[in-house]
Structure 1
Amino acid sequence: MSTIKKDKGLDNTLKAIKQGYKYTENQRKRLDSNNIFETRGLGGKRIIFISGKEAAETFYDNDKIEREGMLPKRVVSTLFGKGAIHTTTGKVHIDRKALFMSLMTEGNLQYLRELTRNQWRSNTINMERQDTVNVYREAIVQLTHIGTRWAGVQAPAEEIDRIATDMDLMIDSFKGLGLSFKGFRESKAARRRVEDWLEDQIHKTRKGVIHPPEGTALYEFAHWEDFEGNPMDSRLCAIDLMNTFRPLIAINRFVTFGVLALHQYPETREKIKNDPDYAYMFSQEVRRYYPFVPFLPAKAKVDFEFEGHKIDKDVMILLDVYGTMHRDDVFDNPNEFYPERFKDWDGSPFDLIPQGGGDYHTNHRCAGEWMTIIIMEETMKYFAERITYDVPEQDLTVDLEKLPGSVASGMNITNVRENVNRK
């Protein structure tokens, strides 16, 4: 049995946070350990990092790995919500995951595509009137319109900016992982406001005061019963309802990266215009190439071996998400932006894992991943085909040592105009 190499230190949390998305790669190279190493973090806790496609397969083996209770409390309290589906396992997780997956109908997904396309197009005049459009901010507002409308939630137009700001605060709270985060209270307060608003709509739906269409998230969650025939607690229902559209709003990060890629790789704009399949390939490459989730936590359910190394029951395990997608034994030339790599991609659930891996129905892979791809396809088509704009001088750095990943400037564009062929 091989000994797991160690990143020595009593607590390397601060080191990991400072190195951000590069931490696992840095340690693997320094320790000359390809797929596994050990460290201490989160108060001196023993942590095993695993990386690569085989690591992802192991991480999503429900006989070996347990994920319940492993998300940091700060992330649960601000990003996912107390009792959210992300914190469950076993029968409870499968039962509630089935509710999420029931929304992924052909009709609902097609409606999302049309909604995304129409929302961006109708917002063109608004962007034309702005001296400078910050893509990061604009995307979070438009995606809030799209996400709440798709979910059947009643969001007054005058409240959208506030809701978008609250959602952004919750999502951005991830940057305080393991550190004293001055915005933690603001993030919790933002979550409380959104939960209150959604819980009120749950109550009104159950009482027949409002009538969301059948098949929407609000309708289905408000009327859902668990495997014992019990309705979901209204607060928990509000939390999981939010988790149907919160990930859609977080896509503003991918949108910002996508507009950056259109600028830095201008040939892709023409390819999107001329190849009906290219927006899909481009969107997948944006999700693979740019930083989103750095790693995901779990613990060993039993003693088991990984590539000749013993992993003890109950030890914490972190899957290297970003690093796995940037390994040359997983993707050819992984540090090149090359959308064509997805032309003949086999759809493996263990290599392209920006939002988690494994099976959609029984595992923790994000149920909204299909929705992410749809929104990205339509949004990238919009920016490539429907409008023209200038990119002024600004800081377009993507710092891999900062969590969460972002374009430093937020990606500013100016002189936005509808792209009309007037010949």
Structure 2
Amino acid sequence: MPDSTAPLLLKGYAWLPDLRRRAHDVPAVPVRLLGKRGTALHGKEAVDFFYDEKHVRRHDAMPGPVLDTLFGRGAVHTLDGEAHRARKALFLDTLKDPARVAALARKAQEEWDRAEADWRGRDRVVLFHESARVLTRAVHDWAGVPLPADEEEATARDLVAMVDGFATVGPRHVRARLARKRQEGRLARLIGELRSAGLPPEPEHATIARAVAAHVDADGRRLDPHTAAVELLNVLRPTVAVSWFLTFSAHALHRWPEHRALLAADERHAWGFAQEVRRFYPFAPFTGGLAATDTEWGGVTIPEGSLVLLDLYGHDHDPDLWPDPYSFDPARFTREGVVIGRDDLVPQGGGDPAAGHRCPGEDITLALLAALVPRLARLPHEVPDQDLSIPLSRVPTLPRSGYVMERVRAEAPAPVG
């Protein structure tokens, strides 16, 4: 079987859907990546199979370059069984609490309003970079992580770099590694300071930073400072990564401006719009693990220890799940009688977040988008000529220009009466 590493790097998001088309859309396709045999899975039944620890494990599954950029060595993403459940509880307690999620959304709105006042005094604003700074300030304040004003821009740049460079080689990847090293060092020092100052007896009522510092793993021990820093980054970094979805939201509003009025008039439309942005635009192409035992799925034999990939981008554009999948239609989430199954939409993974490896931060992503996209829709600005194409060969991708805004103005007051 030929190795597909080079085609993956060349095609990006299109690689796995193209592979499946050539195989006549079968649910399981043999692959080889980085010289390692594997199987790529597609479909709702594949989601159940992939997130069952009897079939797929995470330990030793993540390539070193991904750990050294995106997730970090020793992260919750690399654990299985009781070790995973004990560590995951830390994230479920902090990221699935509706009050905490709402508090972060409010802080993000406050930081957006501050930033918007600044944008009105500038000739040009690149939304992707500015939204990353907004989210960096908001999540640090919310998580209880000090961030001096003169470090805001560099920290935002590092948090973006860790996401931007995980799936490539060359300068982007080097920047991501260096960014992670800097941020892990900064947060490990903070963990040490928090522990030296004393921790609250009930960490679930503490800030996120203090909860991480106080967390006790399945072995009855606190996380070492490096691993605690890794997990604190796994709260900060994904929150700042919502800047990708905010930029895609601006792209959608530019292409389909009729949604501006709908966002202003109907709060539920903001939720549907956020869901459709996550479905429509490319975020993660696939996720992976290792076969826990010799098994078979979709007519393909899967040997123990081989790669198992779950198609995410293709799943979210599957016409059997999403009629007319390349039409941007937020109403598909809000129409009367619509029921979206747990594993119908998987831009950030599938399965049960409480029992498996699904991202526990989806509620935060949705809350931030629902809170900020209406502000973006109401923001008067001009869109100069720029390259708004979205290259599917680049992972993670983005409109090439980052969405440039000019002549940002104050929102017109609502009419009286």
TM-score band, normalised by the shorter chain? over 0.9
User: Counterpart in 1 of 2:355?
Assistant: 362
Query: Is 2:85 aligned against 1:94?
Result: yes
* 1:233 and 2:206 are equivalent in the alignment: no
Deviation at 1:390, TM superposition (A): 0.9
> Which residue type is aligned with residue 159 of structure 1?
E
Structure-to-structure mapping, 1:256-271, within 5 angstroms: 256-271=247-262
**Residue 56 of structure 1 contacts residue 351 of structure 1 at CA under 8 Å; is this kept in 2?**
no
The number of equivalent residue pairs is: 410
Q: Which residue of 2 aligns with 1:394?
A: 386
In 2, Cα distance between the equivalents of 1:339 and 1:422?
25
- Give the direction of change, closer, same or farther, for the CA distance of 1:236–1:270 in structure 2 (3 Å limit): same
Report the secondary structure of 2:282's partner residue. Answer: coil
After the TM superposition, which residues 219-258 of structure 1 pair with which residues of structure 2 at under 5 Å, given as runs? 219-258=210-249
Identity among equivalent positions (%) equals 34
Shift of 1:214: 4.1
Match of 1:48, SS state, is strand
Q: Does 1:207 align with 2:199?
A: no
In structure 2, what is the equivalent of residue 124 of structure 1? 116
1:184 equivalent among 173, 185, 196: 173
1:223, 1:253 → 2: CA distance?
A: 31
What whole-Å deviation, never above 9, does each CA across 1:350-409 have from its counterpart, x for those lacking one?
221111111111211111110011111111011113x21111111110111222111011
Report the CA distance between 1:336 and its aligned residue: 0.8
Indicate if the aligned counterparts of 1:101 and 1:361 stay in contact, CA closer than 8 A. Answer: yes
- Give the alignment's TM-score, normalised by structure 1: 0.93
Q: Which region of structure 1 is more displaced relative to structure 2, 307-316 or 83-92?
A: 307-316
Segment drifting more, 302-311 vs 65-74: 302-311
- 1:125 and 1:228 map into 2 onto residues whose CA distance is 49
Is 1:328 aligned to 2:329, yes or no? no
SS in 2 for 1:418: coil
Distance 2:245 2:338 in 1: 20
Q: Which moved more, 1:86-95 or 1:115-124?
A: 115-124
Match of 1:3 in 2: none
Residues 85-138 of structure 1 deviation map (CA, whole Å, 9 limit, x = unaligned)? 111111111001001111132221121121111111121111111111101111
Does the CA-based 8 Å contact 1:147-1:246 persist in structure 2?
A: no
SS in 2 for 1:388: coil
Asked if structure 2 preserves the Cα contact closer than 8 Å seen for 1:204 and 1:210, the reply is no
**Structure 1 segment 84-163 matched on structure 2, within 5 A:** 84-103=75-94, 104-163=96-155
| Preserved CA contact (<8 Å) 2:166 2:176 | no
Instruction: Calculate the TM-score normalised by the size of structure 2.
Output: 0.94
Paired residue type of 1:13? T
Structure 1: gaps of 5 or more residues = 1-7
Equivalent position to 1:382, from 366, 375, 397 = 375
User: Could you list the per-position Cα deviations for residues 247-295 of structure 1 after superposition, in whole angstroms to 9, with x for gaps in the alignment?
Assistant: 0001111110001101101111111111110000000100011011011
CA deviation string 1:20-46 (max 9, x = no partner): 11111111112213322112221x211
Hey, what's the Cα distance between the residues in 1 that align with 2:185 and 2:291?
36
What is the Cα deviation at residue 229 of structure 1?
2.8
One-letter amino acid of the structure 2 residue matched with residue 288 of structure 1: R
C-alpha separation in 2, matches of 1:75 and 1:362: 23
When residues 219 and 347 of structure 1 are mapped into structure 2, their CA distance, relative to the original with a 3 A threshold, is farther
More divergent stretch after superposition (357-366 vs 298-307): 298-307
2:279 to 269, 288, 291: 288
Deviations 1:116-175 (A, max 9, x none): 111111211111111111011111111101111111101111110010111121111123
d(CA) in 1 for partners of 2:293 and 2:186?
A: 42
Say whether the 8 Å CA contact 2:253–2:259 is kept in structure 1: yes
Distance 1:17 1:304 in 2: 29
